Amino acid sequence: MKRLLVPTDFSPASEDALKLASSIADKSGAEIYLVNFTEHPFDESFTTTGDMRAKFDDEETLFTVQLIRRNNERLQALATKYTEGRVINIQVYGQDLVDGVEEYVHDKNIDLIVMGTTGEETAREFFTGNHTEQIIEKATVPVLSLRSGQENVNFENVVVGIELDSDSKDNFRAATQHLNAFAAAMSSKLHLVHISKPGDKNRDEVEAQIHSFAKKFNIENYTSNLHYSDDIEDGLTRFARLNEAGIIAVLSHAEGGFFRIFSSSVSEELSKESEVPVLSINLHNV
């Protein structure tokens, strides 16, 4: 895990994501790519220094150049604030957030996306829960999302939601490689858990299945667990609380245009409502 992408709109939520990425970089030695996604017509080598009026005389282009220049200055200020002992690369990338993140991940070989969410349903803010969900749905790498105000994340224990069913598109091999890489970089213990309604499944059988799953995909330093709950999101958060977990991870799959886990939008809801950051790995895209 060597390259972390932090999309930013300069909001408190996105700065919280940068703080979390900085903590990850301190433990893993990863580089941070702090990127503002703003659509503009210029190529990557474009610079906003120099005599803008001599080059751009129409009002719309001047406004765009000034916006890029201002955002670049804000990126530099943020990078300076968090740069001590870390490598932080900055860029104003000329795409909208969702398409831009997908392209940037591919171009820069990003290993992990870290982003903040307000937990709101409205699209008024750039980093709403809706935008986070769109990133999770399309991401080919894990997405670590946190609600604004979450601080001092403990990486020691990570709860991993496991579904026992799968489909032909699920790539558990790649997903667990990402999970193992994260756990190794952060020295985390993984608590693999299946959430089931009370009385539906036998504990010994489920924990044996989870143990077999872990062995098949070379997961180390883990526990196998069944937790009973009528609600998956509530079950995961309660189990995380019981185990003093600092992160909840979900292996997810998308089908029919909807991003789904355990036949519902658990990953989306957790990213907006969880007490701790949520690591989402899309089984169909990795």
Residue ranges covered by each domain of the chain: 3-147, 157-282
Query: 3-147 maps to which CATH number?
Result: 3.40.50.620
pLDDT (tens digit per residue) in 18-76: 999 999 999 999 999 999 998 877 766 555 454 444 465 667 677 778 888 899 999 99
Distances (CA, A) of 217 to 173, 177, 207: 6, 8, 15
What tens digit of pLDDT does each residue of 131-182 get?
A: 777 888 888 999 998 877 676 788 999 999 887 766 666 788 888 999 999 9
DSSP SS3 for 222: strand
Q: What percent of the chain has pLDDT over 70?
A: 78
Beta strands in 8-58 (DSSP E): 31-37
Q: Do domains 3-147 and 157-282 have the same CATH topology?
A: yes
Q: Among 10-19, 99-108, 165-174, 220-229, which stretch is predicted with the lowest mean pLDDT?
A: 165-174
Residues 6+ apart with CB under 8 A from 5: 33, 35, 101, 104, 105, 108, 110, 112, 113, 114
Contact 110, 93 (CB under 8 A): no
CB atoms inside a 10 Å sphere around CB 99 = 13
Residue with structure tokens 């996306």? 113
Percent of the chain with pLDDT over 90: 42
Average confidence score pLDDT of the chain: 81
- Quick check: 116 and 34 in contact, CB under 8 A? no
Spatial distance between the Cα atoms of 279 and 24, rounded to a whole number of angstroms? 13
Higher pLDDT, 15 or 137: 15
Torsion angle (degrees, nearest 10) of CA 158, 108, 30, 268? -20
Q: How far apart are CA 123 and CA 126, in angstroms?
A: 7
Which comes out higher in pLDDT, residue 111 or 253?
111
Q: Are 214 and 222 in contact (CB under 8 A)?
A: yes
pLDDT bracket for residue 266 (50, 70, 90):
low
pLDDT at 44 (0 to 100): 63
**CATH number for region 157-282:** 3.40.50.620
Tokens of 254: 């998308």
Q: Where are the beta strands (DSSP E) in the chain?
A: 3-7, 31-37, 88-93, 112-117, 143-147, 157-161, 189-196, 222-228, 247-255, 258-260, 278-282
Identify which of 232, 230, 217 has the alpha carbon closest to the alpha carbon of residue 283. Answer: 217
32 touches 87 (CB < 8 A): yes
